Structure 1
Amino acid sequence: MIWSKPIGILEYTLIGIFLLFYLMYFIRMILVSSKVKSNMRRSFYKFFLRSAYFGAFIIAFLGPSFGDTKKEIKTTRKDIFFVLDVSASMNSNDVLPSRIEKAQKELSNVADRLNSARIGLITFSSDANLLCPLTYDKDAFKMFLQSITKRQVGGTSNISSGMQLAMEKLSATKTKIHDVGKFVILISDGENFGADPDKLLKLFKQNKISLLTVGIGTSSGGTIPETYGPKKDKEGQEIITSLRSSELKKLASTTGGSYFETNDNRNDLNYLSERINQIEGVTTGYQKVDATANKYFYFLLFGLFLILLDVLITVKTISL
């Protein structure tokens, strides 16, 4: 028999109160019977009856489960690559404390909310790098995510390089069903100085990989901090980098995905994790597990039946 909860302080307290009150009841009955010279033996029947239904209620409260039934369950998996922009514009502080630090914080929260998923991390600027391979270890993923420092953020943005590497890694993963369960989540401010990703988007659709995009930044934008002040163009003017949400929305819609946005006034990433969790993962197999059902109601009904007997059956302890 398996219990849904162990005997704890509450149960021991209830048992102690029951025994204390019944002891007081017996002492009273003994004193009364000694004065009237009555037989107390019949009172023990009531004690055993009441102890039985009290014990039945305690067992019901503990939630007993038993049985040898087997249940077949489906094991599923989702493979998710976060593709994070680490180009120079991600150092902009139009989102506090900066776009890259905001992205690190929010992606760490998203990882915690994902169920039955292998997650990996790819970073890109002009080139892409695999920072964390697919893993179920969320702590390892977050360690790699937090290892990105401001000094490592720089260069121009080539979105295609990050998407290409993510697609190659996901396509190399062999599963029985390829229809669902493979995701690329692109986190960027939308700036792209690399190749046009149109060809890549067709390959995403062929490989049935879902592309979700996350825009980080604001439409008003901000400067790009450097060692000696904001970054400037050839004319000496400060460069303003702003969120190009239209580019990211176009990428997502082309593959049937969705666009999300995060900044100081808006955070869609809660909906992102909910969306992924609602989509069924890749079926990787079936397994049989022992399934036991909580049978507390048997003991509850038995206890109620004994209470009914206790009410209906009277015991005469004093003879006149």
Structure 2
Amino acid sequence: MTLLEPHAFLLILLLIPFVVVLVKDRAFKISLGKKIGFSQEPKSLSIRGQLILGLVFISAMATGLAQPQINTEKTVKSVPARSDVQIMFAVDLSASMAGSKQADSLLRIDRAKDLIREVAGELPGIPIAVYAFTNITVPQVPFTTSFSTLDDMLNVNLVAGSLQKACTNRDNCSEVWQAMYRLPTEFTPKTQKKIIVVISDGDIVEPHTPDSIRYLKNQSIKVFAVNIGDNSEHIWLRDKKTRQVTGYDPKPLLVYDTELRYLASETGGQFFTENNAENLAGALKDVIGQGPVDAMIVVKVYENISAPFFLIAILALLAYFTLYIERIDVFNPFRLIGKRISQKPSKVK
């Protein structure tokens, strides 16, 4: 057992003044009783009993505050993190990613999040990061091998249209090629296998240039692309107060695949539509290859056991005060004085 805060045991020094107070209080009450003719010591908790309860209370409280921990071991499955591979998702965050077929259907951006979660669940131990792009590129989730961390950050990040204020033209705000220049610099330099997965509806502002593809090839980066969305989807309008659906934006949310197909094919990646995106994880596995084998390892587990000591301290304190109040009732000086007066013999008339 280990103690996180061992200095908490200094509280035991409080026992010294506690004992002094008990002895003086007891001596005073007995002396007072004798003065008024009550020579018998009151039948209540003795000094020894009070001292024991006080010792239990202070010791248990000090032990609880010291935060004792029990060190145990258990065998768990370990998935070693791959240091040779990094996968980066680049997600289109333009306003069109807020489209859906029905008002209560999942938005394009929400389906993109689900796809990222699905891939991450299939690739344990692979560092995954998420970036969002419009005409700027913004990090959303740093490289992590923790699925829970990724899931938590996806829940609060990646809101369609949240980067629209940076766009000079709200209708043309999806510059994937600009993102392809920025993202390669975010990989760890010594990473051997660098993969970018673009998720977009394909409504790209500027077409590719030979330099953009050459730059990705020089960085040895493979790009996979997922074309998400359907031409029948809309951005649904809602009342600001009631949140009731009032209609939809008549502007069509068209889906394009030309640039995404070209980007994937020219960099050695693969193109997917939303209908076959379930094959993305398998395609990525084929590229990154077999990593370290999962192993069963023994890890230390620390369990805090402060709670029982606090419970003991509270029970001891309650017992002490209960008996102390009873003692006051048994040995109340005013009650004794009244009793002493009532016992005086009456004068014979």
Q: TM-score, normalization: structure 1? A: 0.55
SS at match of 2:106: coil
The structure-2 alpha-carbon separation of the partners of 1:110 and 1:240, relative to structure 1 and needing over 3 Å to count, comes to same
Of 197, 200, 205, the residue aligned with 1:193 is 205
SS at match of 2:101: coil
- Within a 5 Å distance, the mapping from 1:134-283 to structure 2 comes to 134-147=143-156, 148-150=158-160, 152=162, 154=164, 155=170, 156-170=173-187, 172-175=188-191, 178=192, 181-194=193-206, 196=208, 198-218=210-230, 220-226=231-237, 230-231=248-249, 238-262=250-274, 266=275, 268-280=276-288
SS at match of 2:261: helix
The structure-2 alpha-carbon separation of the partners of 1:227 and 1:197, relative to structure 1 and needing over 3 Å to count, comes to farther
User: 1: distance between equivalents of 2:96 and 2:141?
Assistant: 23
SS at match of 1:152: coil
User: 2: distance between equivalents of 1:269 and 1:260?
Assistant: 6
Cα shift at 1:164: 2.2
The structure-2 alpha-carbon separation of the partners of 1:94 and 1:165, relative to structure 1 and needing over 3 Å to count, comes to farther
Cα distance per residue 1:189-226 (max 9 Å; x no partner): 001124635422211111111100000012x3433345
Q: Higher Cα Rg: structure 1 or 2? A: 2
Name the amino acid aligned to 1:89: S
- Within a 5 Å distance, the mapping from 1:49-88 to structure 2 comes to 77-88=84-95
- Within a 5 Å distance, the mapping from 1:38-117 to structure 2 comes to 77-94=84-101, 96-117=105-126
Show structure 2 runs of 5+ residues with no match. 1-79, 165-169, 240-246, 297-349
Which has more strand, going by share of residues? 1
CA RMSD of aligned residues (A): 3.2
SS at match of 2:84: strand
User: 2: distance between equivalents of 1:94 and 1:247?
Assistant: 24
- Kept in 1, the 8 Å contact 2:130–2:142? The answer is yes
SS at match of 2:197: strand
User: 2: distance between equivalents of 1:274 and 1:117?
Assistant: 14
Cα shift at 1:76: 5.8
The structure-2 alpha-carbon separation of the partners of 1:194 and 1:226, relative to structure 1 and needing over 3 Å to count, comes to farther
The structure-2 alpha-carbon separation of the partners of 1:250 and 1:142, relative to structure 1 and needing over 3 Å to count, comes to same
User: 2: distance between equivalents of 1:192 and 1:105?
Assistant: 22
Is residue 132 from structure 1 mapped to residue 132 from structure 2 by the alignment? no
User: 1: distance between equivalents of 2:269 and 2:114?
Assistant: 23
The structure-2 alpha-carbon separation of the partners of 1:242 and 1:80, relative to structure 1 and needing over 3 Å to count, comes to same
Q: TM-score, normalization: structure 2? A: 0.51
Cα distance per residue 1:135-187 (max 9 Å; x no partner): 212221222222133562644211123222221112x4224xx3xx2100000
